[in-house]
Amino acid sequence: METSRRPLAKVEGRRRMRQSGLTIAWRGTPRLDDWVAYIVNGTKSKKLILADVVSEGKLKGMLSRLQTMSKKEIEKLAKA
């Protein structure tokens, strides 16, 4: 007899960067390396992705570094 499993909890968030004024959104599953962060710019078709398939710790560290960066530096990081 199969037991039903609960679906994995997804976590989402948004943060407005102090210096640049950009809004960064992220989502992922705790304890899995499936986190993604992107710049929210109003259109769904053109999202600048900052990180893809990373751990939660790496994502949170990146978000703290982005707080002090300018808009141009963050956009350059997203395109790289």
DSSP states of 44-71: SS--EEEEEEE-HHHHHHHHHHHTTS-H
Residue in this structure with the two tokens 């599953």, named with its chain if needed: 29
What percent of the chain has a predicted confidence (pLDDT) above 70? 91
pLDDT of residue 80 exceeding 90: no
What percent of the chain has a predicted confidence (pLDDT) above 90? 62
Q: pTM for the whole thing?
A: 0.81
Q: Which of 65, 79, 78 is nearest to 19 (CA)?
A: 65
Number of domains in the chain: 1
Band of pLDDT at residue 79, cut at 50, 70 and 90:
confident
Average pLDDT estimate for 51-64:
94
Residue 46: domain span = 11-79
Give the model confidence (pLDDT) of 32-51 as tens digits. Answer: 999 999 999 766 667 789 99
Does 72 map to a domain? yes
Does 6 map to a domain? no
Does 53 map to a domain? yes
